[in-house]
C-alpha cells in the first residue's frame, strides 16, 4: 500500500475511534446517512431486492454501533459478462459523465472524480483522490491470472487414478458443461463469466455507504483485487477505486472510495427535490446503487426501482 | 455402458461448482496454528490429517447466465464446532467434512475412493452417510443432509498456498434414472397454477422457517391451489388426485439439465418412499423471486437398484471434481511480503 494511503487510513481509523457515530439525520442537507438510517435503508433494500442480505460477519470484526446481525449487506454470484474496458468507448462518448436520471428527456449529468464546484470547509478536510494512488493496471491481463495456480505442482487429476469408479467423467449420469474449463480456452465461443460478490459497508468517517467488490474468475477462483479494476469504469479505476482491507471480510478488496459519495448523493437528492419529489431515507441505497452503476457498469447487481423514489409533495 | 442403442435417455445432472474464498483459508490457517498446532493431531482419524465438520452454502440459481456455486467462507469453520451454522435465503447450509493433511505427500496419498464410500455408507457407527440418513428417516427431518460435500486440503503455511480438492458425494443409481421429459416450468402449468406456484414458492423463500430448506414437495389441487410441504409431512400426506411435484433449490442455470442436488433427492424418493415415476421441479429464481421460465419441470423413471434392498449394501457413489485447485495467498498473508509492501 502506498504510504500516503496508509497514513490516511491510520488517520481515518483514529478519527473513527474517537468520534461518536452520526445520530442526527443530515441526509437531505449533506447526502450522508446516520447509522440508524443506514440500517433502515438496508432493511428496505433487502426487502425489495431479495438477492441482497444482511450479514453478521466475523465476530472479531463487528462494529458495536451496528446491530450484530446487520453489519454489512452483500449480494453474491453476480455475473459480469464483459470487461468494463470493453464498454469504455460508450463511456468516453458520454464525456466521462454519468446520467443520474433520464426518466424523461430532462436528463441530468454530474461530473465525478474531481468536481469543480466550490468546496465547503468540511470538504477541504477530505483527502483528494490525487493522494490516494493505486497501482496502475493498464493492460488487460489474460483471465487466467487469478489467485490460484502460480506454481505448477504435479498433482495427478482424477483421470490418472487407476480406480475410476468414482469418476464423474465416466459416470453416465453426469454432464460436465463446457464452461467448467479451468484453463484458458482457445475457443472463444465458450462463455467465460466472471462473478462478483458486491458488499456494502457503513463508512463511519464519511458517513456514507461504501461498496466493495470481490471478484471470481470463470471457475469461481477469487480474482486478485488488481484484476477487479478491469471491471471498473476506466475513468474510476485509476482514481476512485482503491484496494484496501475490507472491514468485515478477510483480505484486500477493491472498493469505491467514499470521499465524494456524500457530495454526489446530495446532488442527486437536490435534483429530486427540485422536481417536487421528497426523497425518503429508506430509498437511499437504491439511489446510491444506481449511482454506483456508473462506476461498475458491467456488474449486473440488482437495484430495481419499480416504485416511487419518495413521496411526491406536489 | 450407457450409449447402447436403447431408447431410454439417461437423466444427466450438472455437478456443483465449488468456490472457497480467502476468509475460509484464513480461518483454516488460524485453526491450524492457534488451536491444533502444526504437529499435534488432537482429533485425528489417522495420524496424517485432521477432520473438521464444516458447512458450505448455496442458493438457487438467480441469474440465467451463471450457476450458483457451493461456497466455503469464513463461517464454514465456526470457532465452536458445535455452534449451529445459520444460513439465510441466499446461504443455505450444506454439511460436509474437511480433511486437512499436514504434508503434500499425505494429501496425494489420501484414499479418495474410500472417503467417498464413507459418505455413501457408514463404516463406523459415528460416521454419518447419505444412505443411512435416508433409511433412518433423518433426511425427512433435516433434508440438508441430502446434499453434502467433502474437501481434502493441504494448507502449506510456509508458502501460504492451499491445495484442495472438492467432492459432492452422490449415490449412483444403477441403472441410471431415465428422463421422460424436461421443459421450462412456464410451459407446464395453467396460468392459474403458475400464479399460485410462484406465490407459494416466494412465501416459502421469504419465511425464516423455510428459506434455507432446499428440498420439499408441491401439491397442486384440482382448483389450481398450490401448497408446498416439507419432507417430514409426507408420512401424513394422503394424496387425493392432486398433482405432485418434488422440488429442490437448483443451483444450475442450464435449460436442459437439472443440477446436482436432484441426484440424492431421487435416490431418497425411490429408497424411502418407493416412488418410481417422479415429477420434479428445478426451482430457480430471477432477482430473488420464483422464475418459471428458468425453472424446469421434468419427469424421471427411477428403478430402485436391486442391492439397495439388502441391509448391508454399500451403494456406489460419485462426486469428485475432475481436478484439484490451488489457492495462493502469499501476497496477502505472508508476513515477509506484507512487510515489504508496507515499507
In tens, the pLDDT along B106-156 reads: 899 888 888 888 888 765 555 568 998 998 899 999 999 999 999 999 999
Same fold, B18-174+311-342 and B178-308: yes
Cα B236 to Cα A140: distance, rounded to the nearest angstrom: 60
Q: What is the pLDDT of residue B230?
A: 97
User: Residue A43: what pLDDT?
Assistant: 97
Residue A264: HSE in the Cβ half-sphere, 13 Å Cα cutoff = 28
The CATH architecture to which B178-308 belongs is 3-Layer(aba) Sandwich (3.40)
Q: What confidence tens digit (pLDDT) does each residue in A7-55 have?
A: 777 777 777 776 777 777 888 889 999 999 999 999 999 999 999 999 9
Q: What pLDDT shows up at residue A128?
A: 34
Does residue B286 have a pLDDT over 90?
yes
In angstroms, the CA B56 to CA B161 distance is: 21
Cβ <8 Å between A49 and B287: yes
Grid cell locating A196: 462478483
How far CA B317 is from CA of A114, B139, B221, B245, in Å, comes to 60, 18, 37, 25
CATH 3.40.140.70 fits B18-174+311-342, yes or no: yes
Whether residue A169 and residue B322 make contact (CB cut-off 8 A), yes or no, is: yes
Q: For the residues B23-32, what does the mean pLDDT come to? A: 89
Please spell the DSSP secondary structure of B261-325, one letter per residue: HHHHHHHHHHHHS---EEEEEEE-EETTEE-TTTSEEEEEE-PPPGGGGSTT----EEEE-SS-E
Contacts of A220 in chain B (CB under 8 A): 17-19, 69
B343 vs B330: CA distance, rounded Å:
17
pLDDT category at B288 given cuts 50, 70, 90 is very high
Chain B residues in contact with A167 by the CB 8 A cut-off are 318, 320
* Per-residue pLDDT tens digits for A95-147: 444 444 444 333 333 433 333 333 333 333 333 333 333 333 333 333 333 45
Contacts of B113 in chain A (CB under 8 A): 161, 163, 165-166
pLDDT tens, A227-266? 898 888 888 877 889 999 999 999 899 999 999 899 999 9
Give the DSSP H/E element, type plus range, for residue B116: helix B112-120
pLDDT of residue A184: 40
Compare CB distances from A172 to B1, B27, B316 and report the shortest one's residue. B1
**pLDDT given at position A111:** 38
**Assigned C-alpha cell, A201:** 459497508
Cβ pair B22:A251 closer than 8 A = yes
Burial A31-68 (b: 16+ CB within 10 A, else e): bbbbbbbbbbbbebbbebbbbbbbbbbbeebbbebbee
Q: What is the mean pLDDT of chain B?
A: 87
Phi, psi of B72, deg, nearest 5 = -105, 130
User: Which of A1, A168, A172 minimises the CB distance to B341?
Assistant: A1
Q: Where are the domains of chain A?
A: 3-114+195-308
Choosing among A50, A60, A214, which should be mutated to test the B contact, i.e. which has the most B CBs within 10 A? A50
- Domain range summary for chain B, segments of one domain joined by +: 18-174+311-342, 178-308
pLDDT surpassing 50 at residue B329: yes
* Whether residue B169 has pLDDT greater than 50: yes
> Nearest C-alpha of chain A: how many angstroms from B320?
7
Cβ(B139)–Cβ(B268) under 8 Å? yes
Q: Determine the average pLDDT of the residues in A145-156.
A: 49
**Residue B338, preceding peptide bond in cis (omega within 30° of 0):** no
**Burial class of B229 by CB neighbour count within 10 A (0 to 12, 13 to 18, 19+):** middle
Amino acid at each position: 500500500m502506498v504510504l500516503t494511503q496508509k497514513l490516511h487510513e491510520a488517520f481515518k481509523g483514529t478519527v473513527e475511534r474517537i468520534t461518536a457515530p452520526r445520530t442526527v439525520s443530515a441526509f437531505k442537507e449533506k447526502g450522508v446517512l446516520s447509522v440508524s438510517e443506514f440500517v433502515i435503508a438496508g432493511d428496505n433494500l433487502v426487502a425489495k431486492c431479495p438477492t441482497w442480505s444482511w450479514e453478521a460477519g466475523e465476530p472479531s470484526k463487528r462494529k458495536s454501533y451496528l446491530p450484530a446481525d446487520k453489519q454489512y449487506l452483500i449480494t453474491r454470484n453476480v455475473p459480469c459478462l464483459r470487461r468494463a474496458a470493453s464498454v469504455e468507448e460508450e463511456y468516453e462518448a458520454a464525456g466521462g459523465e454519468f446520467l443520474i436520471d433520464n426518466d424523461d428527456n430532462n436528463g441530468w449529468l454530474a461530473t465525478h472524480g474531481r468536481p469543480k464546484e466550490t468546496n465547503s470547509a468540511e470538504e477541504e478536510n477530505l483527502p483528494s483522490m490525487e493522494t490516494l494512488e493505486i497501482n496502475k493496471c493498464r493492460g488487460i491481463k489474460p483471465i487466467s491470472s487469478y489467485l490460484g495456480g502460480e506454481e505448477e505442482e504435479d498433482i495427478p487429476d482424477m483421470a490418472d487414478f487407476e480406480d475410476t469408479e468414482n469418476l464423474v467423467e465416466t459416470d453416465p449420469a453426469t454432464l460436465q458443461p463446457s464452461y467448467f474449463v479451468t484453463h484458458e480456452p482457445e475457443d472463444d465461443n465458450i462463455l467465460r463469466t466472471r462473478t462478483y460478490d458486491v458488499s456494502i459497508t457503513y463508512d463511519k468517517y464519511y458517513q456514507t455507504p461504501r461498496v466493495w467488490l470481490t471478484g471470481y474468475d470463470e471457475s469461481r477462483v477469487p480474482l486478485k483485487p488488481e484484476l477487479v479494476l478491469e471491471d471498473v469504469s476506466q475513468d474510476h479505476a485509476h482514481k476512485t477505486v482503491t484496494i484496501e482491507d475490507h472491514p468485515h471480510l478477510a483480505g484486500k478488496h477493491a472498493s469505491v472510495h467514499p470521499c465524494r459519495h456524500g457530495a454526489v448523493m446530495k446532488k442527486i437528492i437536490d435534483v429530486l427535490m427540485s422536481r417536487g419529489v421528497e426523497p425518503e431515507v429508506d430509498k437511499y441505497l437504491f439511489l446510491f446503487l444506481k449511482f454506483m452503476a456508473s462506476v461498475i457498469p458491467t456488474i449486473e447487481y440488482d437495484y430495481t426501482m419499480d416504485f416511487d423514489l419518495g413521496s411526491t409533495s406536489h | 455402458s450407457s450409449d447402447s442403442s436403447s431408447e431410454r435417455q439417461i437423466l444427466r445432472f450438472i455437478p456443483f461448482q465449488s468456490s472457497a474464498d480467502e476468509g475460509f483459508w484464513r480461518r483454516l490457517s488460524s485453526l491450524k496454528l492457534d488451536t491444533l498446532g502444526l504437529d499435534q493431531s488432537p482429533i485425528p482419524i489417522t495420524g496424517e490429517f485432521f477432520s473438521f465438520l464444516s458447512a458450505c452454502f448455496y442458493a438457487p440459481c438467480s441469474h440465467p447466465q451463471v450457476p450458483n456455486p457451493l461456497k466455503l467462507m469464513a463461517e464454514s469453520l465456526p470457532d465452536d464446532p458445535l455452534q449451529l451454522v445459520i444460513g439465510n435465503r441466499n446461504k443455505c447450509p450444506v454439511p460436509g467434512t474437511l480433511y486437512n493433511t499436514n504434508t503434500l505427500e499425505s494429501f496425494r496419498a489420501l484414499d479418495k475412493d474410500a472417503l467417498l464410500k464413507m459418505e455413501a455408507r457408514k463404516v463406523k457407527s459415528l460416521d454419518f452417510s447419505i444412505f443411512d440418513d435416508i433409511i433412518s428417516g433423518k433426511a425427512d427431518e433435516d433434508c440438508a443432509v441430502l446434499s453434502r460435500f467433502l474437501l481434502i486440503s493441504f494448507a502449506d503455511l510456509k508458502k501460504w498456498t492451499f491445495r484442495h480438492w472438492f467432492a459432492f458425494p452422490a449415490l449412483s443409481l444403477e441403472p441410471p434414472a431415465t428422463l421422460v421429459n424436461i421443459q421450462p416450468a412456464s410451459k407446464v402449468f395453467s396460468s392459474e397454477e403458475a400464479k399460485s406456484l410462484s406465490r407459494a414458492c416466494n412465501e416459502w423463500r421469504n419465511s425464516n422457517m423455510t428459506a434455507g430448506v432446499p428440498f420439499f414437495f408441491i401439491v397442486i389441487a384440482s382448483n389450481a391451489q398450490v401448497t408446498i410441504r416439507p419432507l417430514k409431512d409426507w408420512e401424513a400426506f394422503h394424496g387425493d388426485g392432486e398433482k405432485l411435484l418434488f422440488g429442490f433449490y437448483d443451483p444450475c442455470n442450464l435449460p436442459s439439465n437439472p443440477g446436482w442436488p436432484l441426484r440424492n433427492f431421487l435416490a431418497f424418493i425411490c429408497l424411502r418412499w418407493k416412488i418410481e415415476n417422479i415429477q420434479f421441479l428445478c426451482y430457480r429464481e430471477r432477482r430473488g423471486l420464483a422464475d418459471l421460465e428458468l425453472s424446469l419441470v421434468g419427469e424421471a423413471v427411477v428403478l430402485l437398484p436391486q442391492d439397495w434392498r439388502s441391509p448391508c449394501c454399500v451403494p456406489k457413489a460419485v462426486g469428485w471434481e475432475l481436478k484439484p485447485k490451488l489457492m495462493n495467498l502469499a501476497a496477502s498473508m505472508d508476513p515477509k511480503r506484507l512487510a515489504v509492501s508496507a515499507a
